[in-house]
Amino acid sequence: MKKYSILWWWLVQVSRLVLVALFIFTAVAKLFVISTIAGNVAELLSSSGMDYERWTWPATVAVISVEFLIVILLVVPRTARAGAVAAAVLLMGFAGYALYYVYVLQATA
């Protein structure tokens, strides 16, 4: 039983660090091409019927900020569970919006 718990602990730690690496990579990559990301966000907002001129930059900055916040939550051991939940909610939100975009708005991906 002891070996199983040690193996489980290592699996959890590796998974947490892989999530940290994933979110750092995506946030930093978005910073390098932020104008392109903002243009993509503007297209998504305009096809959703929102005022894209007003919400493009706030939405772009919010997504990148949330990704960095998730990294911080995942790095600190005390808040790792909250970070994992936040990561899951963010990823489900992106997936849900993609489904909404394709099936409800009848847009092409």
Q: Residue 3's pLDDT is what?
A: 67
Kindly state whether residue 10 falls inside one of the protein's structural domains: yes
Residue 109: inside a domain: no
> At 102, is the pLDDT very low, low, confident or very high (cuts 50, 70, 90)?
confident
Average pLDDT of the chain to the nearest whole number: 91
Is 41 inside a domain boundary? yes
Query: Domain for residue 47, yes or no?
Result: yes
Segments forming the whole domain that contains residue 52 = 2-104
- Considering only residues 47 and 74, tell me which one the structure prediction assigns the higher pLDDT: 74
Q: Kindly tell me if the per-residue pLDDT of 65 is higher than 90.
A: yes
Which residues, including other chains, have CB under 8 Å from residue 2's CB and lie 6 or more apart?
none
* Count: domains in the chain: 1
What confidence tier does 108 reach under pLDDT thresholds 50, 70, 90?
low
**Average pLDDT score over residue span 62-79:** 95
